A and B are shown apart, each in its own frame.
Chain A
């Protein structure tokens, strides 16, 4: 098969392929792709190879054969029609009068006039518009399309036909195709006409005359001479002046009969010179040019359907596989650190607490962190091998023996073997209780996805597990954003006690829930669904309860610490709100995420919390914020739609239930500050329960009493869960 046919088929496969390719074809496609890659060369070459390697290539080539056949039949029929037309024209024009005379010029015009005008029009359009389709060609194309479409059946046939038509009748190639058809059909017309004329003149006797009403012989003589120039040059006998003068139609004119050989010669000569020869020359010209255009035809590899193949057929890169022997075991712990600690320093129970930072930046709240201990050894931060050696030296001196050592690591750092080596070296030489505080949680959350945070915490835990066998000796406290709760937690690490914090937090949560209930009563009373402004205001008041009173910045806890000041501009607001919503929904337990109502509440709590955090910085009414107008719209965009919403089981309309859920989540998350993310999720899971719409004696979640009952239950469950966590 020649390349042009292959290109046609590729084009057909392009338009046909995507709509019919099912998954069952995937394997055969993969084979074709592989063959194409094997073929090499440029993209077009590979596409052609792929077409050839298609499992249904035979169908395609068969379809092409059929389309070709149909075109041939169609063209043959048209040519036959054209020939018939030519014959009919001659038949009609060769009708002599009662004297057996024929008007030569009428006959000539009938045979050649239309054809010659069409030829001139074609030439003019060809020269001036750069390409002409020609009248007959255009009609023929339409007819051919209709005919082949009518005859074509299968999907592949239609695709091949479609490709053939679009390639053959398009731009550069199209003008030559149509040219060939135009000139070919006219040629058929003329050959038939000439043939029948020769036959008629051979078997019948005609005399050629001319006649006129308003013109004279002085017009017909030069006209005849002009028409005779070319045929005369070609050796056709042509009438001379005397013959023309003698052939005027004046009844039965014997002079005309005498000159009929010359007139017949001119007739044949004119058909040849003004019809056959130019049409033939143009036909050959169009054929040659068409052939050239076919050879020059290339696939448009950027066309839809081809462009998508590029990555598969001509990969930008090839994978080279592994270049080493194997993954190998991860280095064994302690391997290579040959140091044997003969004299391990043991803890001094009356000694101070030592603090040591590992590859961390100075926290915003200062270094060393305030752990509520006056005499504390600041071991500094390890940043290089030199730092490590000096820390090891310090620890060897007897006056610096601590009773406990607190490491501070950063969640921004990937826990790697280098860090493990540092633990190994420091803890290998001393036998002192150690605790690891992971800071920078806020900063890490800001630049990562919610799921990454839990992963990072667990990576730290597993890396450090051998040095901190008790899980509670690794805690996540953001030293950049200390709240009252996290301060207490930090202090309790040093003192080793820490249960009164549960009680303290219980009181604050109680206050939050009272606040929520108060607002809920207002909404129920007014029978209105609270707007975003009211809800944001509620969140702000909740956040205020949790912001440390002694914190001048008024910044609220670490978890939602990204709303610094009021310089959130409206354009980035959507992003911020989305981040807040993602963060909050990210820590919800899966059970709640699956429930659209809680998913909505989580997104609401996260994004409203973001606004609340922003407004805490300067206490002003949220509705007066310049960005609020934008925030409303941005919020709506952020919130998940509630399609698939579970039907409310209560009959009474429940106003503000979304708002209550969101505010409860927000309170719980604020209250759980200082726990790591996994624990927060667990606490929420335990606290929320699944009884908010179970009805019950007090009317369920939809009434004030019911809500109060539910909030009480949440509170109790939360405290129980918190106690459980403390005991873990």
Chain B
């Protein structure tokens, strides 16, 4: 233990996902090069996990082992000739000329492993257990460096996790980690670090700091995602446009304009969310998200989009012309009483009263107020919450796409929606909270909006936590 920095070598057969494991651990999809081909990584490349700017763990991506049968033969011969123990034989080997010949890649890997505190042996759990794997474990075992086998692709339907575990146990490897690099599964990441704690006990405090950091980062990200959804929701709910009664041409035009603004707003939201999750454009190539070219396939106002998440179009559709939009006409002032709920403070009551006055005046002068209807708002919440879920389970889709019509998720979404309904009514009473009315772009929103956003975001992050935990439960059920 030199400076408290844990040094980890990522080793394994070629094309098992070593670089992918690195990418997942360091959250950088631009690290190294990944392909479904042999010998993609030819050089040892390092990266450090940082906590508050301080490197705590150094990881080294190594070229894949390919010819372990030949390597083992070679080492056996060398040891026979030299009469050394295994570790010294290996050290001799990586310094020898032989290492420049047929086994350049293997020698590089071994020489870096010898300088590290622990090795992660990456296994494609879909592969059959072959002699070459046993030979690799044999060679790695002789380095006298603790090795943690990491089963990659365990989320795949073709994974042979049990077979591998049994085989590894036979090779005396019991501390096995399951970590699917295609699925950003928080719990398996924690378990991987737990396993490391056992095998690199001297670095326990270091690893604990990393674990704490990773957990808090996740929480922050969930909350930040919830904030984005809450902002979107307020903008969409509060947005109100007014038309004169009877002017039908104008209504259609205004309505289309409103829809277009909401559509654009959701698009901006997606862009922000992807930036938050460091999702690059090229990540789309693997259908990892339920998006096409960075956008939801269906317009938020289309019945198909609602159907996707098990939502009925309800009464709004019955209204016909305004599919997806409720026309809020003067009807016994359903939304009139809302502002008063805030009126504990005399000062605040002034604002609310003035607001009400405007509303009533608008109604009396024959204006019709158009707002985004319940079904669409519900859809905006649930589908974007599911998008966040997909981002946390990034990459999963290439094996097992996120099922959008998931009953449990829909139910959780519906519960959240119900609990948000009073807040939605408050938003609707405050058209000035929406940033969608082009005129007041950039104007300060009232503190009421901020407070409400925090409240709504809290409830949405509960939904997000539920969705992510539900995912964990269902995975546990599958195993």
Contact = CB atoms under 8 A, between A and B. Distances in A.
Interface of A: 15-16, 18-19, 37, 40-42, 121, 125, 129, 132-135, 137-139, 141-142, 145, 149, 155, 158-159, 161-163, 165-166, 169-171, 174, 301-304, 306-308, 310-311, 314-324, 326-332, 335-337, 359, 361, 383-388, 412-418, 421-422, 443, 446-449, 452, 455-456, 459, 463, 571, 575, 578
B42 A328 contact: yes
Interface in B442-471: 442-445, 447, 450-451
Interface stretch (B58-66, B143-151, B416-424): B58-66
A575 B132 contact: no
B227 A421 contact: no
Contacts of B14: 414, 416
Contact of B69 (A314, A385, A443, A448): A385
Nearest to A145: B444
B95 interface: no
- Going nearest first, the 10 A-B pairs with the smallest beta carbon separation are A138-B347, A384-B131, A336-B102, A307-B224, A320-B46, A317-B26, A162-B444, A414-B15, A417-B66, A416-B66
A320 B45 contact: yes
Given A121-B346, A317-B25, 15 more contacts: A18-B268, A42-B52, A162-B444, A165-B447, A307-B228, A320-B58, A326-B43, A336-B70, A359-B128, A384-B69, A385-B135, A387-B131, A415-B38, A449-B398, A459-B37
A163 B220 CA distance: 22
B381 to A, nearest CB: 16
Nearest to B457: A302
B221 interface: yes
Contacts of B156: 447
Contacts of B443: 149, 158, 162
A171 B442 CA distance: 21
Interface in B88-132: 98, 100-105, 108, 112, 126-128, 130-132
21 contacts: A129-B345, A162-B442, A162-B443, A170-B447, A306-B224, A307-B223, A307-B224, A307-B276, A317-B25, A317-B49, A323-B45, A331-B103, A336-B101, A384-B132, A388-B69, A418-B68, A446-B158, A447-B126, A448-B36, A455-B35, A455-B36
A301 B221 CA distance: 10
A576 to B, nearest CB: 11
A414 B128 CA distance: 12
Contacts of A170: 447, 450-451
Interface string B46-80: 11111011010011100010111110111000000
B278 A311 contact: yes
Contacts of A448: 36
Contacts of A416: 13-15, 38-39, 64, 66-67
Contacts of B64: 416
Contact of A322 (B15, B43, B130, B447): B43
Interface in B206-233: 217, 220-221, 223-224, 227-228, 231
B66 A418 contact: yes
Contacts of B169: none
B104 A328 contact: yes
Contact of B451 (A42, A171, A327, A463): A171
A324 B345 CA distance: 68
Contacts of A575: 400-401
A383 B286 CA distance: 33
B17 to A, nearest CB: 11
A610 B356 CA distance: 60
B478 to A, nearest CB: 13
A359 B129 CA distance: 10
Nearest to A571: B403
B73 A385 contact: yes
B272 A134 contact: no
Contacts of B296: none
B29 to A, nearest CB: 11
B321 interface: no
A367 to B, nearest CB: 14
Contacts of B31: 319
A229 B94 CA distance: 97
Contacts of B68: 418
A463 B49 CA distance: 37
Contact of B345 (A133, A142, A320): A133
Interface residues on B, range: 35 or more
A331 B105 contact: yes
Nearest to B72: A385
B360 interface: no
B444 A161 contact: yes
B318 interface: no
B475 to A, nearest CB: 16
A165 B345 contact: no
Given A158-B443, A383-B131, A336 B46 contact: no
A302 B42 CA distance: 39
B132 A331 contact: no
Contacts of A337: 70, 102
A430 to B, nearest CB: 19
Interface in B384-407: 398-401, 403
A101 to B, nearest CB: 37
A170 B398 CA distance: 45
Contacts of A314: 50, 52-53
B28 interface: yes
Nearest to A170: B447
Contact of A331 (B104, B345, B348): B104
A650 B346 CA distance: 75
Contacts of A385: 69, 72-73, 131, 135
A455 B36 CA distance: 8
Contact of A417 (B67, B135, B231, B344): B67
A327 B66 CA distance: 16
Contacts of A417: 38-39, 66-67, 102, 105
B291 interface: no
A278 B34 CA distance: 72
Contacts of B70: 336-337, 418, 421
Contacts of A443: 158
Given A18-B272, A166-B450, A41 B135 contact: no
B191 interface: no
Contacts of A149: 443-444
A42 B128 CA distance: 46
Given A171-B451, A447-B126, A321 B46 contact: yes
Contacts of B59: 317
Contacts of A141: 347
A129 B348 CA distance: 14
A15 B217 contact: no
B472 interface: no
A456 B128 CA distance: 18
A166 B46 contact: no
A134 B398 CA distance: 59
A454 to B, nearest CB: 11
Interface string B158-191: 1000000000000000000000000000000000
Contact of A174 (B38, B47, B130, B447): B447
A196 to B, nearest CB: 28
B197 interface: no
B198 interface: no
A317 B223 contact: no
A323 B112 contact: yes
Contacts of B72: 385
| Residue among A42, A132, A166, A446 with most chain B CB within 10 A | A166
Nearest to A410: B128
Nearest to A447: B158
B60 A383 contact: no
Contact of A336 (B37, B74, B286, B445): B74
Q: By CB atoms of chain B within 10 A, which of A141, A174, A322 has the most?
A: A322
B101 A335 contact: yes
A324 B111 CA distance: 10
A324 B44 contact: yes
Contacts of A320: 45-48, 58
